[in-house]
């Protein structure tokens, strides 16, 4: 049980010039974990000393980052079954006070709008046509072509607010909504792009693994075939490997988001963020 008086006393000592005393106080406060964050944030607002403010902010980030690592590790070790929870965890890197329920509600609202217009026994192509209409025309989602390298393109909360994202963020929202409607659409980890596959193993198809066709969520849900993927890989001078055609795991999708963020922050020269994101990526390779 936290003693508020003790916490306030410790926080006041954070600006101590003695390095040993500071480290002792810092470690003591850090040991309280998430419970101490609200006290630290209140103290930061009231602090006038820039050194104390900087040390409080650093401590808050350290605790939040540790909690995020624990959450991501548990998600991964638990089987990485819920893609949305994995994406929300990554979102907390930049937005630790994220309202998870708001994200869930926003996705449910889009799903409901599609469901209300869904035609019974619609063909796979008709299902995708309906999703495209609601997702792009009614809700206004589109690819961020003007600022593609912006790290905000990789944070789900921001994409849901601005209705603009990169290939993978739009594909994630699209596939999560489709799966909630029992429409079998899954992510495909194509190099330099991220696409979706409509998979139905009960139907005869020219593709392996029951893939009927592919979908480009970045290009307003355009439907295309295997030959287009062949041509894309040929243009990149890459061998046509099986993994470039078939659905990937949720863990692979989260790895791809992290690599995109690392690339974005490298371009911005944010070395500290790059190091931390590499640390998160390392958790998914353990």
Say whether pLDDT at 120 is over 60: yes
CB 2 within 8 A of CB 36: yes
Beta-carbon contacts of 101 under 8 Å, excluding residues fewer than 6 positions away, are none
Evaluate whether 158 touches 257 at the Cβ level (below 8 Å).
no
pLDDT at 203: 60
Q: What is the pLDDT of residue 205?
A: 56
Residue 265 to residue 239: CA distance in whole angstroms? 29
For residue 9, the model assigns a pLDDT of: 75
pLDDT of residue 171: 97
b vs e for 230-256, b when ≥16 Cβ sit within 10 Å of the residue's Cβ?
eebbeeeeeeeeeebbbbbebbebbbb
CATH code for the structural domain at 4-77: 1.25.10
Does the structure show a pLDDT above 80 at 30? yes
Residues 6+ apart with CB under 8 A from 118: 127, 130, 181
Specify the length of the chain in residues: 286
**Strand-pair partners of 187:** 196
At residue 97, the 3 state secondary structure works out as: coil
Interacting residues of 244 by C-beta distance below 8 A, sequence separation 6+? 188, 189, 190, 191, 229, 233, 238
Mean pLDDT of the 118-130 span: 92
- What is residue 19's predicted lDDT score, i.e. its pLDDT? 82
Judged on CB neighbours under 10 Å (0-12, 13-18, 19+), 218 is buried
Contacts of 237 (CB under 8 A, 6+ apart): none
With cut-offs at 50, 70 and 90, classify the pLDDT of residue 52. Answer: confident
**Average pLDDT value over all residues in the chain:** 90
Domain extents for the chain?
A: 4-77, 83-283
């Amino acid at each position: 049980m936290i003693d508020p008086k003790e916490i306030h006393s410790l926080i006041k000592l954070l600006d101590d010039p003695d390095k040993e005393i500071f480290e002792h106080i810092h470690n003591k406060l850090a040991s309280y974990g998430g419970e101490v964050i609200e006290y630290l944030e209140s103290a930061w607002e009231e602090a006038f000393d820039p050194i104390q403010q900087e040390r409080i902010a650093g401590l808050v980030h350290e605790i939040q980052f540790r909690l995020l690592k624990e959450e991501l590790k548990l998600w991964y070790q638990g089987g990485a079954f819920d893609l949305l929870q994995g994406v929300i965890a990554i979102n907390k890197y930049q937005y630790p006070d994220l309202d998870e329920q708001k994200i869930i509600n926003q996705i449910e609202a889009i799903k409901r709008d599609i469901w209300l217009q869904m035609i019974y026994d619609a063909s796979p192509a008709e299902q995708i046509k309906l999703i495209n209409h609601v997702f792009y025309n009614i809700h206004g989602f589109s690819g961020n072509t003007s600022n593609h390298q912006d790290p905000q393109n990789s944070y789900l909360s921001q994409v849901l607010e601005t209705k603009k994202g990169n290939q993978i963020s739009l594909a994630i929202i699209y596939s999560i909504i489709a799966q909630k409607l029992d429409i079998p659409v899954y992510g495909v980890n194509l190099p330099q792009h991220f696409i979706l596959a409509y998979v139905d193993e009960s139907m005869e198809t020219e593709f392996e693994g029951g893939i009927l066709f592919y979908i480009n969520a970045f290009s307003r849900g355009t439907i295309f075939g295997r030959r287009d993927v062949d041509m894309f890989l040929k243009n990149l001078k890459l061998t046509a490997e099986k993994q470039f055609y078939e659905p990937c795991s949720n863990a692979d999708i989260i790895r791809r988001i992290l690599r995109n963020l690392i690339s974005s922050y490298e371009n911005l020269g944010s070395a500290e963020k790059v190091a931390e994101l590499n640390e998160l990526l390392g958790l998914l390779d353990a």
